[in-house]
Structure 1
Amino acid sequence: MTAEMTTPDVTGREAEDLANAGLSVDGAELREVLEHYYEKGWTDGLPVVPVTESYLQEFLARTPRDPDDVLFEVPHLNRALTVRLAAINAGLAGCLPAYFPVVVAAWDAIAQEPHPRRGIWQSTTGTAPLTVVNGPIREEIGLNSAGNVFGSGFRANATIGRAIRLALINVFGLVPHQLDQATQGTPAKYTACIAEWEEESPWEPLHVEQGLDASDSAVTAFVVRSVVHIEARHTSDPDQLARDFADTVARTGALIHEYTNALLVLTPEHAQVFASAGWSKDDVRRAVFGHAVRTRAELKAVGKDAISHNARWRLPADHPDAMPDTASGTDDPDHVHALGRPSSVQVMVAGANNAGVSAVVEVFGLAPERTPRERPCSVSRIERR
């Protein structure tokens, strides 16, 4: 790195330090190692951290799990991820060893998800893993739950999410244009890991809702399709705000299957709009469910007024594989719910407390006819040695 490559606000001694940062190592040898990793296809397109056996042992020392324990497997690919392989990819991603228990818990949570084993990570939709972290470990390792929570700038967030992606590439072979068939993909395919800002939430945090103790550190896993920001700086009326979220949840472009699912990531400001009116999380869920409705005519206009016999994907009523959707057999067939039930919506708090900007994270979840699980989400307690 040269002084000319530094940012404009780095001057004087700071610029000199940056310019000299690489002088104690052989830059040519380092580049040779990095190029070797590229040639082997062991990266996501960005440089990775070389992992030696001694460095690997620092990761393995942080978990009580045996290195040969299988964390996740995909039967149709005949491939499995062990603790050791997860540690290698965490090191490659730039994780510190202290982050590794979060990575292990993330894989435990992913293994509970009903979709990934069936090839969802290979989908043309371009799905990606989203990891949400709760509990004391957030502060211990510096996970961001506030401003720019979906963005850059925080090593723990960036590298924990990236550790999952690199393992999908290096262990399961999910390489773009090969086993990864995403049509366009999503930035979440690089990394997607956030923490909940529990201290700014008026409600119990996500992991406590799912039966864990507030003192537990935990990871909840989601299969994310997209993150849509909601600009709502104009109102302090909770019903108006719920309608704003519902409009995004029920947008026709999101209606792939008969029903959709959503994770509402509320900024503290929006959470307080609801809480100040006496709303609980369940009240938010019920309101969004009730308002997330499209008319039959609106669905017909975009060719989504029926569903497939086989896949239950939305398609035109005159399609050869079409059958009436569930709403067609109700007392009000001309109004179609985008969500199967209120529990199709999960709610958490994250983001800066400086503006009315929240997010609807479009996620895959269980259809209403599926037997409910013990918990609505896939959560795993973080264990450390």
Structure 2
Amino acid sequence: MIITNVNMVLEHEVVKGSLEVREGRIVALSDTLSQHSSAINGDGAYLLPGLIELHTDNLEKFFTPRPKVSWPSGSAMASHDALMISSGITTVLDAIALGYINDHGTRLANLERMLHTIVNSQQRGVNRAEHMLHLRCELPNADTANIFETLVEQGPVAMVSLMDHTPGQRQFVDSEKYRTYYMGKYGLNDQEMASFEAEQTAASEQWSDANRKHIAASARERGIALASHDDATVEHALESAALGCAVAEFPTTVAAAKASHDAGLQVMMGGPNIVRGGSHSGNVAAAELAREGVLDILSSDYYPASLLDAAYMVANMEDNHYDLCQAINMVSLTPAHTLGMDDRGSICEGKRADLVLAKPNDDRLQVLQVWREGERVF
């Protein structure tokens, strides 16, 4: 396959020309246009490396499209996969929450069903994108470590994150925002919410520290990338670095983000934070971290299209120093390096032909075609 007349977004520069693929790999790049009759004409659009998503819980909304509605697993996975690939995402880490403590939610009920569906569909080769597992470990829970040890052996786990959503810290330093969020999410009244807060706080005091140390050590032994979650202080960042974390997921303050970045962690923020202009929880805006030069990776989190939208917005902001190549690296090359996946993440000879053809449309890039390992999947 030859793709020509494209602006190839490479690691450090944009080159207009052509690209050749054989047996799923990029074998040649050229700064000239191909005259081969079978060449795909990109009409001057951008050719990007396939995007790599480290943290998305998008699958949940397909398993439970409405409260108390359970959708068939195969159909849910196919719909989720199609949405990811149409957003230009060719490698997906599906985030599965374990150790969740509220029985009113659906995550616990869906846990094994979702995990089995992700692993089984990938093994059968029916997915358009390549799907792996991201185990999100809620630390203030008696069963979290045991559940982790069971699930980590069941599929291709590429990342583990350490979460603690206890009120008054990290994501929810503002307890009022905590109450607003969970009362709205689970329909709790004031008395139920007060009981829920007390239970969370007590569980965190009993289990969080032991679970954090156990799961971090287990992930290190297995060579699985480890991520902190919602670090809010310099002390949090230093603790995460000492545990061996490679990624700082969604730090909530500039201080925590800077400390994480300085300690060698890759600072990851949500694409929706960029697109919406701020955090829905009232925490630090991702654009502010971009201005500080400490934004390393973007994640679509709960909205797949936000990954490419956010990268393109970062590249076009006037108050930071990220050009288009650097912005696209945040959703491709840097995530690949973080996971130790040297076979993908950039347009380079020898790399997998995971490619996205996209053109500017108003203030975003519109995905036109997608290839994974040289096979067109969108």
With normalisation by structure 1, the TM-score equals 0.27
Looking at secondary structure, tell me which structure has more strand per residue: 2
Larger Rg: 1
With normalisation by structure 2, the TM-score equals 0.28
